Amino acid sequence: MDRNTIVGLVLIFVILIGFSYLTRPNEEQLKRIQEQRDSIARVEAERMALAAQQEKKDFELSQETDSLKPLSPTVFVQDSLKEEIITLENNKIRLQLSTQGGRIVNVDLKEYFTHDSLPLILWKADKSTFGLNFYAQNKQINTEEFLFVPNTTETVLNATESEKTLSLKLFSGENKYIEFIYKLAPDSYMADFSIRTHNMNDVIASNSSFLTLFWGVDMPQLEKSKDFENRYTGVYYDFLSDDVENMSTTSNEKETLSTKIKWVAFKQQFFSSILIAQDAFTDVALSSDISNEPGYLKKVYAEIPLAYSGNNNETYNMQFFFGPNSYPILKEYGADIELPKLVNLGWKWVAWFNRYVVIPLFNFLENHVTGNYGLIILLLTLIIKLVLFPLTYKSYLSQAKMRVLKPQIDEINKKYPKEKALERQKATMALYKRAGVNPMGGCLPMLLQMPILIALFWFFPGAIELRQKSFLWATDLASYDSIATLPFSIPFYGDHVSLFCLLMTAVNIIYMVMNNKNQPQNEQMKGMQTMMYIMPIMFLFIFNSYSSGLSYYYFVATLITILQTWLIRRYVNDEKLLKQIELAKTKPVKKSKFQERLEQMQKMQEQKRR
């Protein structure tokens, strides 16, 4: 990487930082924004207070009305009922449901295991909550407190497959009940879920305009690194007419969504529980809190109002998805409702490369190279490096041209001292123009490769295909590889040693040494080269806890780059290159329209000065 390349990258970085600094609001603007927020908050608080007062009045009125009705000892019939655990399962998932609350108490993904080879349970009975809240007979009802009556049916689809349906009814009297219906098809990660109210209009408070569906889970740690898994764990939701968003994964947060959403997901690094509306959910209240309990990541909770009209029969149809965050699988189950966007493929300007290039190519290799994911990553790297080889060659050639021109650049620098910087720059650019050399030629090919490098940085840590797949000493390519555990933890590094990370750092330093030999040497470049050696050391700390598949990819990619550089260096002869440059100088330089306009502007400016 030559000086101009480094300067170009530094300038781009400085421009971005400068732009963000210059465009940030000043103190007066911040004060005005804060005043607007405070004003909105006051209005919202007043609105909520008025709504609460009205709700209280309506409730008191309903109490007076309901007091005229005869009250039963209990709202729901519970005589002779006992808790039962009922299982619905197919070849992919096992759902355990309790008649206490009529809710799912365990979700087991049968094809997967935790990092320590235990069954992979997304929900646990004592770490989850699910049910309805509403008012009935002057009481706030929580369906989790009551026992439901179960009824299981099975529909035969063919000789080997059947669809299982579980009906759980909470009776309030003869032919009056709330019904939860769960239906599980064979070979599916999706379960249908419906809520029905039957003849409950004289039980549920007459002023009720909605029933509140609540759902909360303490999300268990499933992977080896709790801190790394936490980065990808949180609450995600899909705006009906917009895009997929998520709550903070690094801090506690509460949010009420006034816009309609299609689904809400409790997502972990490789697995998700998703509740999908038939039409849409509105005014959903969400919360996400980081858990301090060992073995758990976050406490997540959702409250979903379901519009209630007081009719004899009302039905709310939904679906649950319990499964892996696999891009092909999510695309199969919900391409039309943006489920694949649960897989974090990076920023929008790089996600397209993962979506349309890396994932299809990886899946193709996975289908044709079975079992060895280290070999799949190697082949993926080779294909990408071969496609990028023209850019690598162009970058090296530009650096070689700059190197052979260095003696002539030194003569210009001697001719024009630092005090005549403008004349020195004009003479240098004129030399570049005559020689047909683009000083940014080494930088632009590298910038074009950056989106690809960044895209793969996002792809590997979220690729469930690599989860618990071993290669050489790495037991899990989706997590870090550890060859030694330290008796202490080093800040920003951790308490283990990743060998693939060490190898990646070593080959990066070797590549820096080789590349610096290809650069024109001067005092300024020596200082920049020293700074460039710091980058691999920084990567050593950053990647130590990252996916070993990612470190392995960068290690192999850098090795291939070193080999390509060595081959190009043998092919490109500096003497022949200099002769080509000297020959190019003798040919007339065709000026572009932009250059002509620029020269005209410079001439006009000089005339004005005179």
* pLDDT(198) > 70: yes
**Least confident span in 151-155, 437-441, 498-502:** 437-441
* pLDDT(591) > 70: no
> What are the pLDDT digits (tens) for 218-247?
999 999 888 889 999 999 999 986 788 999
For residue 339, the model assigns a pLDDT of 94
Paired tokens of 433: 């123009």
Per-residue pLDDT band at 20 (split at 50, 70, 90)? very low
Together in a domain, 397 and 493: yes
Together in a domain, 328 and 370: no
Domain boundary among 312, 344, 376: 344
For residue 501, being part of any structural domain is answered with yes
For residue 81, the model assigns a pLDDT of 85
Together in a domain, 420 and 499: yes
Q: For 238, left (φ over 0), alpha (ψ -120 to 50), or beta?
A: beta
Asked if 130 and 103 count as a contact pair (C-beta separation under 8 A), the reply is yes
Domain boundary among 295, 324, 344: 344
For residue 591, being part of any structural domain is answered with no
More confident residue, 429 or 528: 429
CATH number, position 265: 2.70.98.90
Per-residue pLDDT band at 584 (split at 50, 70, 90)? low
Q: How many CA atoms lie within 13 A of 535 on its CB side?
A: 13
Together in a domain, 250 and 308: yes
> What are the pLDDT digits (tens) for 434-454?
666 666 655 666 676 788 888
* pLDDT(531) > 50: yes
Residue of 127, 122, 87, 90 lying closest to 108 (CA atoms): 122
Mean pLDDT of the chain, nearest integer = 81
Q: How many CA atoms lie within 13 A of 204 on its CB side?
A: 27
Q: Which residues lie across from 179 on neighbouring strands? A: 169, 196
Residue of 329, 349, 348 lying closest to 93 (CA atoms): 329
Asked if 561 and 511 count as a contact pair (C-beta separation under 8 A), the reply is yes
For residue 19, being part of any structural domain is answered with no
Together in a domain, 147 and 42: no
For residue 12, being part of any structural domain is answered with no
> If you average pLDDT over residues 146-155, what whole number do you get?
89
Q: Which residues lie across from 135 on neighbouring strands? A: 140
For residue 331, being part of any structural domain is answered with yes
Gap between the Cα atoms of 534 and 451, Å rounded: 22
Gap between the Cα atoms of 212 and 304, Å rounded: 6
Together in a domain, 304 and 391: no
Gap between the Cα atoms of 461 and 268, Å rounded: 12
Together in a domain, 418 and 562: yes
Together in a domain, 571 and 522: yes
Q: For tokens 């994964």, what's the residue? A: 249
Total residues found in the chain within this entry: 610
What predicted TM-score, i.e. pTM, was given to this entire model? Answer: 0.76
Q: Are strands 244-246 and 234-239 parallel, antiparallel or unpaired?
A: antiparallel
Together in a domain, 106 and 232: yes
For residue 109, being part of any structural domain is answered with yes
* pLDDT(575) > 90: no
Helices (H) and strands (E) in the chain, counts: 15, 21
Domain count, the chain: 3
Write 438-443 long-range contacts (CB < 8 A, 24+): 438/398, 439/4, 439/402, 440/4, 440/5, 440/8, 441/394, 441/395, 441/397, 441/398, 441/401, 442/1, 442/2, 442/4, 442/5, 442/395, 442/396, 442/398, 442/399, 442/402, 443/4, 443/5, 443/8, 443/9
Q: Give the residue numbers spanning the domain of 436.
A: 351-586
Gap between the Cα atoms of 321 and 297, Å rounded: 20
Together in a domain, 338 and 367: no
For residue 10, being part of any structural domain is answered with no
> If you average pLDDT over residues 19-45, what whole number do you get?
51
- Count of CB atoms within 10 A of residue 246's CB? 17
For residue 596, being part of any structural domain is answered with no
Residue of 271, 266, 8, 308 lying closest to 141 (CA atoms): 308
Together in a domain, 388 and 326: no
* pLDDT(521) > 60: no
Main-chain dihedrals φ then ψ at residue 481, nearest 5 degrees: -100, 130
Together in a domain, 268 and 379: no
Q: How far is CA 169 from CA 130, 166, 184, 558, in A?
A: 15, 10, 18, 62
For residue 7, the model assigns a pLDDT of 47
